[in-house]
Amino acid sequence: MRRSLVLGNWKQNTTKSTALELLTDLSKELNDNPTKTELGVIPPALVVQMAVEQCQNSAFEVGVQNVSSTNAGAFTGEVGADMVASMGAKYALVGHSERREYFKESADDLANKIVRCLEHDLLPVYCIGEQLEVRQSGDYLAFIKNQLEEVFSQLQPEQITNLVIAYEPVWAIGTGETASAEQAQEVHAMIRQLVHAKIGTDNITILYGGSCKPSNAKELFSQPDIDGGLIGGASLNAKDFVAIANSF
């Protein structure tokens, strides 16, 4: 389903006390500046329960940054989609570039993670995006197409319909360098066309991520194929995060 959506990826930031502070700030900020946009925080998994409790009275939802590719079993250290769903979370990031790079997640892992999420009614947010060298080589559209194809080829059309896709050029993540609205729109339009060619509808939500902040969100979100953002650094500040959500 296509809609306006802003998600805040906290990455490996916050402790119990600073997470509570940020969640409290966020509730206050949303009270003062209500948003019509669907909003979600994606904190570290240990904070999910606290975030779900806080969001009972506030206008945001909760997600996780990763789930296991397997069902329950002897997989020490893993957190399953069933566990996350049972805590009341709604979203799960799949294939964030930091996980692809540092934890060597393969396309098979990612397709399995998507399936686990859908089995447990978690909304998978499939993250894709090219590194700087790929952008500079000029082959970035083919690279992104391949990142889509390698999981789409393992999914049924109705599973693809239920994905959110986040385009996050790696060179823009945490660097302060944002893709221009035109650069982002070019890729988003290609993604939408590809999804249409694959499943016969392009009614899916496609987010932009990479140094998105209050000063550039409006221009990015006004592009015809950009439905919102996956926000890293700026989501650690409640005022900035809500300002981004109110940039449509």
By CB under 6 A, name the binding residues for ligand PGA.
Answer: 9, 168, 173-174, 209-212, 230-234
Minimum CB distance to ligand PGA, residue 229 (Å): 8
Under 8 Å CB-to-CB from 225, ≥6 apart: which residues?
185, 188, 189, 191, 192, 206
Minimum CB distance to ligand PGA, residue 155 (Å): 22
Q: Looking at 29, 61, 168, 188, which residue is catalytic?
A: 168
Is 168 assigned a catalytic role? Answer: yes
Minimum CB distance to ligand PGA, residue 70 (Å): 25
Closer by beta carbon to ligand PGA, 79 or else 230: 230
d(CA 77, CA 143): 32
Closer by beta carbon to ligand PGA, 93 or else 204: 93
Minimum CB distance to ligand PGA, residue 167 (Å): 11
Closer by beta carbon to ligand PGA, 6 or else 117: 6
Cβ-closest position to ligand PGA: 232
Minimum CB distance to ligand PGA, residue 132 (Å): 14
Q: Looking at 29, 38, 61, 96, which residue is catalytic?
A: 96
Closer by beta carbon to ligand PGA, 101 or else 133: 101
Closer by beta carbon to ligand PGA, 172 or else 194: 172
> 183-222 burial string, b = 16+ CB within 10 Å, else e?
ebbebbbbbbebbeebbeebebbbbbbbbbbbebbeebbe
Active site residues: 96, 168
